[in-house]
Structure 1
Amino acid sequence: MHDNILVPTDGSDASAAAVDEAIAIADRERTTVHFLSVVDTGTEMSAAASGSIAPQLTETLEEKAESALDEAANRAERADVNYDRTTLEGDPHEVIAEYSTEYDIDLVVVGASGRSGLKEHLLGSTTDRVVRTVETSVLIARP
């Protein structure tokens, strides 16, 4: 039924639940799971851009993204599920929507909530934005 499943992951408990759900589906259907970690270059980077902290922040965010992908990949390997892993930069919901279209994703599996903070409260959650912007089915997994 699904050839390609996309799982955006940030290392949170919610995204870990999404990883597990996608792996369970992929195991039954023998599909490929695409793990995507987005380094958010929006609010965090613009706040740091004026000072010397920007390069350090970028490095920290990239390390966190790679760590989240490592965990997702380890789970997929233990389940013997085919996967790809990618790190991209940008506004998370926009990057997820673009990736979904570019790679002909059949299903996006997202966590009910991931990172939180002032940005999420002011602008709405990434999950809500993904549901509104992708042109494919979305499964919301809860931890």
Structure 2
Amino acid sequence: MYTDILVPTDGSESSAAAVEHGIEIASPHAATVHFLHAVDVGTEMSASGLGNIAPDLTETLESEAEDALDDAVARAEESDVAYERTVLEGVPHEVIAEYSTENEIDLIVMGASGRSGLADHLLGSSTDRVVRSVETSVLIARPS
């Protein structure tokens, strides 16, 4: 039923729950889990793709992305689940939707909330936006 499962992760408690769910679903199906971190560099992208933020901040965000992915990958390896890891720049819900389409994802597993805090409550979370913008099934995971 599932061949490719996308788990966007930001290192939050909710995304850690999504990682666990994604791995649990992938294991009996011999599916590949695609761990994705979208580095939100702002709405104005420069021609270089680095956005309109300072290089030090970009480096910090990319380091946080790698840390979140390292944790997810370690869990997949412990469970002997095939995985891919990707860091992309852009607006998270747009990056997730595009990745899902381009990689023919069968299921997206996302945390109920992430690290963006108050902005999520005012604007709607990335999870809400993904659910509304993709044709792929989405499982929303909550921490225990």
Letter in 2 for 1:106: D
Task: Identify the residue that residue 85 of structure 1 maps to in structure 2.
Answer: 85
Task: Identify the residue that residue 131 of structure 1 maps to in structure 2.
Answer: 131
Quote the Cα distance in structure 1 between the aligned partners of 2:57 and 2:121: 22
> What per-residue deviation string (whole Å, max 9, x for no partner) do you get for residues 77-110 of structure 1?
0000000000000000000000000000000000
Letter in 1 for 2:22: A
What secondary structure is seen at the aligned counterpart in 1 of 2:54?
helix
Say which structure is richer in helix: 1
What secondary structure is seen at the aligned counterpart in 1 of 2:109?
strand
How many residues align? The count is 139
Quote the Cα distance in structure 2 between the aligned partners of 1:28 and 1:117: 35
Quote the Cα distance in structure 1 between the aligned partners of 2:120 and 2:139: 20
Task: Identify the residue that residue 48 of structure 2 maps to in structure 1.
Answer: none
Task: Identify the residue that residue 108 of structure 2 maps to in structure 1.
Answer: 108
Task: Identify the residue that residue 71 of structure 2 maps to in structure 1.
Answer: 71
CA separation of 1:118/1:54 partners in 2, compared to 1, >3 Å: closer, same or farther?
farther
The answer for unaligned runs of 5 or more in structure 1 is: none
What secondary structure is seen at the aligned counterpart in 1 of 2:138?
strand
> What per-residue deviation string (whole Å, max 9, x for no partner) do you get for residues 3-40 of structure 1?
10000000000000000000001111110000000101
Task: Identify the residue that residue 24 of structure 2 maps to in structure 1.
Answer: 24
Task: Identify the residue that residue 59 of structure 2 maps to in structure 1.
Answer: 59
Structure 1 segments (4+ residues) deviating >6 Å: none
What is the Cα deviation at residue 122 of structure 1?
2.8
- Root-mean-square deviation (CA, aligned residues, Å) is 1.9
Task: Identify the residue that residue 122 of structure 2 maps to in structure 1.
Answer: 122
Letter in 2 for 1:38: A
| Counterpart mapping for 1:27-38 below 5 A | 27-38=27-38
What is the Cα deviation at residue 118 of structure 1?
3.7
Quote the Cα distance in structure 2 between the aligned partners of 1:116 and 1:64: 14
Quote the Cα distance in structure 2 between the aligned partners of 1:118 and 1:140: 19
